[in-house]
A and B are shown apart, each in its own frame.
Chain A
Amino acid sequence: MDFINHQLFIKDINVHIDPILPKKTAIITHGHADHARFGHDHVIATRQTIDIMKIRYGDKCAKKFTPLKYGQKYSIKNYDFTLYPAGHILGSAQVLIEKDNHRLVITGDYKVGKDETCKNFKLVRCDTLITEATFGLPVFQHPDPKDEIQKLIQSVKINKNNCHIVGAYALGKAQRVMNLLRQQNYNETIYIHGSLEKLCKYYSKEKINIGKFEKVSSKDKSFYEGKIIIAPPSALKDRWSRRFANPIICMASGWMTVKQRAKQQGIELPLVISDHSDWNELLDTINKSKAKNILITHGQEEALVYYCKKQNLLSKPLSLQGRSDEEIE
């Protein structure tokens, strides 16, 4: 455990995990902007994460890429690295680092629940676990996403003269919402904000069932009545959303558990759909990993640290640079 420091940096071999600034060698857990950045010399990640980075930042966003399959071992000196599915978004991975019989797992962002848009989370036993804690409070107990997506489908049925704009992160959440709609037999065309187009096409190419979609265009206001539109959360408050007649503003996010949060953001139909583990899943992962040493990062660390200490596990929060506690998902 003493071979990695607070910046997720292995000094010995000059390797960083998810660094914020350009570095020599960077292992990237997944394609979200707070983990995958532009300008590293050497990026090690799953093929899909590398594809996503290239879509977002261009083919030359790193000098060299090494794609790894899940479960494939990669060694630098006496360190062995293996990626395992994290179930967060397409291509997302946990990193297992082995050295001198010590196993350390960095979960990255992960969720335990089922998701058709990516490989599902695999539990990896280890001695030291560095886990995220986005929803590290017992108030977060995610409901079944099918029930949540049904709320959207029902609202579309009832409010025929409104359009529904669903705020969802452009990478991962948007496609998951689309896939969940398809699972519930919603077969209409889904309209998307322009910034989602490339990523949606990529998901389709990767044979993820997100169904038929079309970019929103400057059609007559009434055209979108009764339709579902998916847009990044930032667009909800933007002028962009005013082109639609009678929109009902929805948001797909784990934060929507808290009514006051939804209200603050002007969300009328909150959909509690998360790509992170909820409280019980975090505890379950910590316990089943058999790790004796738990480091906690990304979010609400205090309650998890408290819980771990009560279980007689060594635990402390890791405050990572450049990551404020609440904006990420």
Chain B
Amino acid sequence: MKKFSSLLHNLILTPSRNTKIKLLQDYFKTLDINRAYALAILSNQISFQFIKASKLKELVYEQVDQHLFDYSYDYVGDLAETISLIWPTKKDGKSQNLSTLIEIIKRIKKSEINKEFSKILSQLSNNERWTLIKICTGGLRIGVSERLVKTALADLYDKSVNEIEEIWHGLEFPYENLFQWLKNETSKPKIDFKKLFHPMMLANPVDEEKDFKRLNASEFQAEYKWDGIRVQLMTSLKSVSLYSRTGDNISSAFPEIIENTKGDAVIDGELLVGKSFKPSSFNDLQQRLNRKKASKNLQEKFPVFIRAYDILFYKGKDLRKLFLYERRKYLEKFQKENKNNQIDLSSIIKFKTWKELTKYKNNVHDDLNEGVMIKLKNSEYLPGRKKGYWYKWKKNPKLVDAILMYAQRGHGKRSSYYSDFTFGVWKENELVPIGRAYSGYTDKELLVLDKFIRNNTTNKFGPVREVKKEIILEVAFDDVFPSSRHKSGVAMRFPRIHRIRWDKPTNEVLSIEEFKKEFKIG
């Protein structure tokens, strides 16, 4: 545990990619059961369902005064770090192996979790405690991607990273076949590719100025970019399963898809909510997300379907080396053969010039698409975000000027800065909050805002500071919906700070009535 936690500590503080690789390689020089756990942790394959943030807070409140913890958490901005620092250490504990420790935790009975897990936390050093909490809550955020770990392993053991990538989703903890192959003790592990989740091909945002000068419109095809969730549907004669873009099996949440899908293929598409293939808003889709199961009632009220973009396998044949326009023919064939599936095809937009495509990007389908995708017709299906093949071109965001009302310290990278802003518009002579944003500003703007907040606080509510109503933020957002949960009656989708409007006086900001009218909210 000591070695692994100092690895994480060093990784988080190292800006250089090469140094990160070197640190990883030093650690993975031996390949044992501890390294197997480490690999599973670094690639997010391990988490403890029963130890969540709320449980950890419950445990720490048993140890320290709740208010003192809350003040500290507000300051530090990272739960794992706050708990690891504030925990009353008992230094007599011996350092355990990573594998022993995780196995002990796995065996803890649910009824004894508070006592047993607290005991373990008390036996660890600060840094080990931090590591363990990070492991439990998932999402290390140490600036190391899965890809970087694979690269480090590949270089260390003289393999190519693509070889590892290819078999990755067929590997399972404790990775014995992988480790043996890396050590040249056996040949490359054999994987049944048809049963695997295949890493998805992703798009890069288009740079309007640079890319459109460079790229030849006739070599590309365009499709709408739908605002749902990207999925991979795997159907064979024996079984059907549905995966999210990160490779999680989400079949049980969408039984109507599983029950109604026929055929033998691997399909890449967008999961959307809507009746008879007419997508409704993202708000509706949200009713179906983050659920393990879907009741009959929910399925009827918010039915889902898949809008297919691409096909990776057809009747056992791997199509990924074919070009997009060739794969499209297979996709159409699959669709014709299986008409009763909950699937329709993403339509292809006809256009000749980039300028012509602009109008498709900006205003079609009543806000239900987010823009367009631009795909090279001659593109193989390549996993990851490779440059030069697929582009996304998002609609211009909606903009509104609003007044900064409250601020809170941020988390992670922005910890300690006041970087989380609530803003509002007028309702008669008062302000009513319409949204909250914690991104979009430049580092410089953040410093200015942070300073303004510290010097112009009028009131404190725990960690929240109320500030003088002087700063106008131009807020960009993707969409806005009516909402009964908010005082203002509206909820924004993905609001972010576009810029600070130094030039505008606060009395020129809209009222909530004007705001609703402008963005057509009943």
Contact = CB atoms under 8 A, between A and B. Distances in A.
Interface of A: 137-141, 257-264, 266-270, 300, 302-303, 306-307, 310, 324-326
Contacts of A326: 416
B68 A307 contact: yes
B81 A258 contact: yes
A262 B14 CA distance: 10
Nearest to B70: A303
A259 B71 contact: no
A92 to B, nearest CB: 26
Interface string B70-103: 0110011110011001100000000000000000
Interface string B391-435: 000000000000000000000110110000000000000000000
B237 interface: no
B81 A138 contact: no
Given A137-B71, A260-B78, A307-B68, 4 more contacts: A260-B412, A263-B13, A269-B13, A310-B65
Contacts of B67: 303, 306
Interface of B: 9, 12-15, 64-65, 67-69, 71-72, 75-78, 81-82, 85-86, 130, 412-413, 415-416, 454
A137 B74 CA distance: 11
B71 A264 contact: no
A300 B71 contact: yes
A324 B77 CA distance: 19
Nearest to B454: A324
B142 to A, nearest CB: 9
A310 B130 CA distance: 29
B333 to A, nearest CB: 52
A310 B416 CA distance: 26
Contacts of B14: 268
Contacts of A306: 67-68, 71
A139 B13 contact: no
Name the residue among A263, A268, A269, A324 with the largest chain B CB count within 10 angstroms.
Answer: A263
B291 to A, nearest CB: 33
A284 to B, nearest CB: 16
A157 B331 CA distance: 61
A307 B12 CA distance: 33
Contacts of B76: 139, 258, 260
A137 B395 CA distance: 46
B72 A138 contact: yes
29 contacts: A138-B72, A138-B86, A139-B72, A139-B75, A139-B76, A139-B86, A140-B85, A141-B85, A258-B76, A259-B12, A259-B78, A259-B130, A260-B78, A260-B413, A260-B416, A261-B416, A262-B13, A264-B415, A264-B416, A268-B14, A268-B15, A269-B13, A270-B13, A303-B71, A303-B72, A310-B65, A324-B454, A325-B454, A326-B416
A326 B454 CA distance: 11
A258 B86 CA distance: 11
Given A260-B76, A260-B413, A326-B416, A303 B68 contact: yes
Name the residue among B85, B412, B413 with the largest chain A CB count within 10 angstroms.
Answer: B85
A260 B81 CA distance: 9
